[in-house]
Structure 1
């Protein structure tokens, strides 16, 4: 037998040493980095779990980045909304009816303070964070509102609010300042007995249009034997309404001193006012605009009543009507969601309609995202009933970009006659349903609505008659056709409201961010939402309305006073000075009345009663707070989950440096021993072996 190196396989020893050296290198890397391996291949069976955990951590980092961005924006919005609430509160408390201040200081400072608030509101609506505008919905790259001066004064030939306001005031006042009402007098002959001797004053609207006073009601404290009247009547189709006051001819039945006649009116902004005229004798008269003198007969009394009525209409036209015109113009110019900008069509003093303003001739106040159909106003539709007929009418003037278009109604049934009228140059599209007495439970009515282009969505309003309590989409068959028509109109209002709400959508959804796998936070705001819109309209209205100071009033009447003082006849001088005092008093009353009219409307617009309404500043603040709470909840979830994943990833990818150090020491010992053995074997020979 031959003893040689083949009994000691060096190649195998070298391979083992090489593996130990590789392991030693891995252990050194682990000791230095704390990681099991520096390559994916080195993960072995832990690779799928590692990749899955890292993917999830990457998603969490992405969500965290979104949350950080949205949190910054929401923090900014929170501060902005807090300031807007403060401005609303300041505006609400800035003006109170009857509180004119010392030397009318409140009247003098109100316009400038209101403009300053308007300017701040506009600045806040144009807020941006890192170049992203926050009050334009999805339109985030441009400011949603022009600056204050452009809004009020216009720019580049485009009309601003002041121009639209002046047009509206002229249209509401009319040529004679009587609010588009005209009175006529029919005198009787006291010497002739019978109905023909009565004297009648008739007051009539000058047409069917949105301008001026609209007759509402009439009442009197006089006896029926002394005075009678007719009330305004609503017709379908609408006609100019009128009322009349008849003075009886019998001198023994003349109206008594202190008795009153009260006329009610609807103003252009939808508010109500009234005029009360008190009968008085010549001896008791103080020359006020609220009284008329009882004459020697019915004709003289009626003549005095007409003169007092005309004068009172002018006086109220300068105060209440002017205030209503201001706020109506603000509603026309500062259009809300789903509404166009409107202006007076034609010569304002004789105009009979509004027109849709064009961006080429009118400043568009809001340039952010806005829905074409809004829940407020039923998507520019009106619902009503008259007798046995219920009506759904599209708003006028027609705008191709705003509001529902009524496109059809289902066919007649046995007891329901339906009619569809397409839009015309003077009226919007409409449908009507006239009910018979034998209505059956299967006679369903369907009304078709179309959203403005480019939308192709069509909505069908379906109403079915029932004999009991009606649910959504149903109306109760009444005791007679008139009651049925009223029930149908109420039910139609419900389904039309739901359709308008669905078409408008939620402004908050205009801007969203992913903060979790199945969670998106919605925080979009559109600058023309109701609460913000009321602020802009109110501050703009108050900023352009001015009131003469006491010095202005006296200065304007100074020529009248000087002329009176120049009279040499004492009686003429006294009469002229009396006229001067009356004129100054009337100017003061007019200024105070205008201030009170604006103050009452500001109080109504900024009242805390609006706080719970959809789109109010308070509701917006609350909804943004809910979004912020959602962010905080998501952040807490991600923090907890990330900690769990980090622990799991640590178990999979990292090592204990203490264990690695001990393994390195053991491996070093084995390597040194292996080196020595291998060295000795490599030098082995027979002589050395022997």
Structure 2
């Protein structure tokens, strides 16, 4: 019998003991740290799961950091919009028609109050959060507006709003202060008064209607756009033996003002015995010669009309000019800044202002095309009775700006039956135009395609195609009517709708100018642009109210006669326009403070929902990671005890075997 160590291989025993020692050391580490391994290499088969979960947790952490930043900005927006809404309400209550205050204090203080509100608006729109300006769209590295003084008074030789107001008021008033309108009498027809503008231009009073309560007076209605005098009407006072105008009978003329509002002048006839000299009163001629009497009436009407024009020009027209200048200077998206071209007193056009001579009030991101106004395109419709044709035209708005609005690139007709109608005409130039003539031969399937081009840098072309149908028209269609006039009207309506839709698509949504990725397939859009409708109306209104001045109050002791006081009348005119600009009815307009606040609320909701999903998902991933990377210390302790027992036994057995020999065996 051979007794030796070959039956008990010590190397194998030592190897087993070494492995148990390593296991014991690992268990001690796990007991101390609660982690399965100290390095990724020690994770074994759990490594891919651990890496994947940690990567996902890192992504969620990035989303949460983005949400935290956006949350801070949305909080600022919420506070700013709340304050703006309050300022808007304060402004509506500060200036109301007929509310002049004790000793007319409201008239004296309204400019300073409006200036303070304007300054607060500018401050809020120029606010930054963490060095990021929030009201310039994607342009976040600079303030979108100049300071208030620069806006109002200019800087570096460039004109501010005050200069634009001065020019516009002079252009609207004219050299004689009568709103570029006047009455004249031809010596050959002394009983006929002609009323006309001093040319075709956008300034001053625009005659819109005329009426009389006297059957002895005949009038002609204004015809807009008649060159070269512009709108023209005539008032004929019939001489005896025809019936003459009687005391108390009136002649009323309506006018469209530069800001688009309406006003009217009513002149009342009276006889010499009852004449009071009140504004708007004219004396009926009483000469024994009937022709001279009619001429006297016409002359008295002319004098009263001129006097009343001057009074209304001091109040209503001046206020309208101030707000029109605000619209010219504080330009909306897709519109250029405009100024009077040439000598204001005799000017006949506006021009596009240059950054070299005029302060640009907003320098943030802005759309070059706006849905409002069809992207600076104007439509018209005429009917030619001689040729029995109706024509619809589309023209670029004057003054044309290469950087703002659609440009008309082409117009093409496709006739379904190979005929020649409707006929389209495209005229290039500045402004470019197109027209479509209808002669009654239109057939279903005929189509007109307009090609519109956006300004640089996009230069994108958009095609608007309108197809004739015999029944009810759908999108991109127009109905062939029972007459050429009806067909033309249907086409014009369809064209206005389609071009407006194209302009809206080109304009885009200011909210999308800035966005944040808050989850894998979800973004929060929260961009803001200071030239949106709500902010723009407040800027225009506050600026207009802050620069307006009022004549000296002459009838402070007679609160019941504001019409006799130019200061009160102008205050009323300004207050009425501010009420209109800041009316609650505008809350439904795109870009209003209220709708913007609602859109910010939607962004809040989307962001909070994403954050809640991240919280829940992170909890699941943390549990999974814990299962993969951590251990139960109780289980580890039990393993250590069991391993320690086996290791002790192994030590003893190995020691005994290592001493095994024949001598020891014997």
TM-score, normalised with respect to structure 2: 0.95
1:153 deviates by 0.5
The alignment partner of 1:611 has SS state of helix
Instruction: Report how far residue 2 of structure 1 moved.
Output: 2.7
Q: Secondary structure at the match of 1:434?
A: strand
Distance 1:586 1:676 in 2: 118
Q: Could you tell me whether the CA contact under 8 Å between 1:291 and 1:308 is conserved in 2?
A: yes
Once the two structures are TM-superposed, the CA of residue 237 in structure 1 deviates from its matched residue by 8.2
SS in structure 2 opposite 1:472? coil
Report if the CA contact (8 A) 1:418-1:432 is conserved.
yes
Q: Which residue of 1 aligns with 2:646?
A: 670
Structure 1's 236 and 44: CA in aligned 2 closer, same or farther, altered over 3 A? farther
In 2: Cα distance, 1:370 partner to 1:686 partner: 102
Q: Structure 1: which 5+ runs fail to align?
A: 189-195, 556-580
Q: Using the alignment, how far apart are the partners of 2:224 and 2:439 within structure 1?
A: 22
Kindly provide the CA deviation profile for residues 585-613 of structure 1, in whole angstroms up to 9, marking residues without a partner as x: 89961111111110110000000000011
Q: Is 1:392 equivalent to 2:394 in the alignment?
A: yes
Match in the other structure for 1:490 = 493
3-state SS of paired residue (1:202): strand
Aligned counterparts, 1:91-102, within 5 A? 91-102=91-102
Question: 1:187·1:200 contact (CA, 8 Å) conserved in 2?
Answer: no
Worse overlay, 364-373 or 179-188? 179-188
Deviations 1:173-196 (A, max 9, x none): 0011111112111356xxxxxxx6
2:361 matched to 1:365? yes
Measure, in 2, the Cα distance between the counterparts of 1:417 and 1:300.
54
Q: What does the per-residue CA deviation read over 1:54-104, in whole Å, with 9 as the maximum and x for residues that have no partner?
A: 111111111111101100100111001100111111111111111111111
Specify the alignment match of 1:124 in structure 2: 124
Contact persistence 1:338–1:372 (CA under 8 A): yes
CA deviation map 1:211-231 (0-9, x unaligned): 1111111011111xx110111
Q: Which residue of 2 aligns with 1:208?
A: 200
Q: 1:199 aligns with which of 191, 196, 199?
A: 191
- In the alignment, is residue 409 of structure 1 matched against residue 411 of structure 2? yes
How far is 1:8 from its partner?
Answer: 2.1
Match of 1:353 in 2: 349
Query: In structure 1, which of residues 278, 282, 289 is the aligned counterpart of residue 279 of structure 2?
Result: 289
Moved more, 336-345 or 671-680: 671-680
Q: 2:629 aligns with which of 653, 658, 661?
A: 653
8 Å CA contact 2:152, 2:543 repeated in 1: yes
Deviation of 1:44 (Å): 2.4
What secondary structure does 1:108 align onto?
Answer: helix
Structure 1 residue aligned with 2:232, among 232, 238, 242?
242
How far apart are the structure 2 equivalents of 1:455 and 1:103? 58
* Preserved contact between residue 181 and residue 197 of structure 2 (Cα < 8 Å): yes
Q: Determine the structure 2 residue equivalent to 1:193.
A: none
The C-alpha deviation readout for 1:466-495, integer Å capped at 9, x for no partner, is 121111111111221112111111100010
Q: Which residue of 1 aligns with 2:593?
A: 617
Q: How far is the alpha carbon of 1:443 from its aligned partner?
A: 1.8
Over 3 Å counting, the alpha-carbon distance change for 1:99 and 1:179 in structure 2 is same
Distance, in Å, in 2 between the alignment partners of 1:672 and 1:416 is 106
* 4+ long deviations beyond 6 Å: 236-239
Q: Is the 8 A contact 1:108 1:549 kept in 2?
A: no
User: 1 CA distance for matches of 2:138 and 2:412?
Assistant: 38
**Conserved 8 A contact 1:236-1:386:** no
Aligned to 1:437: 440
User: Is residue 2:547 matched to residue 1:544?
Assistant: yes
Question: 1:104, 1:549 within 8 Å by CA — same for their partners in 2?
Answer: no
Contact 1:212/1:321 (8 A) holds in 2: yes
Deviations 1:5-55 (A, max 9, x none): 222211111100100011011111111121111222322222222222111
Q: How far apart, in 1, do the equivalents of 2:124 and 2:131 lie?
A: 14
User: How far off is 1:121 after superposition?
Assistant: 0.3
8 Å contact kept, 1:154–1:161: yes
Instruction: Render the CA deviation track for 1:277-334: whole Å, top value 9, x for unaligned.
Output: 0111122222111111111211000000000011111111111111110011000000
Q: Secondary structure at the match of 1:632?
A: helix
Where do residues 260-409 of structure 1 align in structure 2 (5 Å cutoff)? 260-296=250-286, 297-387=293-383, 388-409=390-411
User: Matched residues in 2 for 1:235 and 1:439: separation?
Assistant: 29
Q: CA deviation at 1:438?
A: 2.0
For 1:633 and 1:586, locate their aligned partners in 2 and report how far apart those are by CA, in whole Å: 58
Which residue is equivalent to 2:211?
219
Corresponding position: 1:419 with 2:411: no
1:630 matches 2:622: no
- Residues 198, 229 of structure 2: 8 Å contact kept: no
Alignment check: 8 A CA contact 1:108 1:546 kept: no
* CA shift digits 1:567-595 (9 cap, x unpaired): xxxxxxxxxxxxxx99xx89961111111
Hey, what does 1:593 align to over in structure 2? 569
Residues 489-522 of structure 1 show CA distances to partners (whole Å, capped at 9, x for unaligned) of 1100010011000000111000000001000000
Query: Is 2:479 the partner of 1:456?
Result: no
Question: 1:649: Cα distance to partner?
Answer: 1.4
In the alignment, which residue of structure 1 is the partner of 2:53? 53
In the other structure, the counterpart of 1:578 is: none
Partner residue in 2 for 1:681 = 657
SS in 1 for 2:588: coil
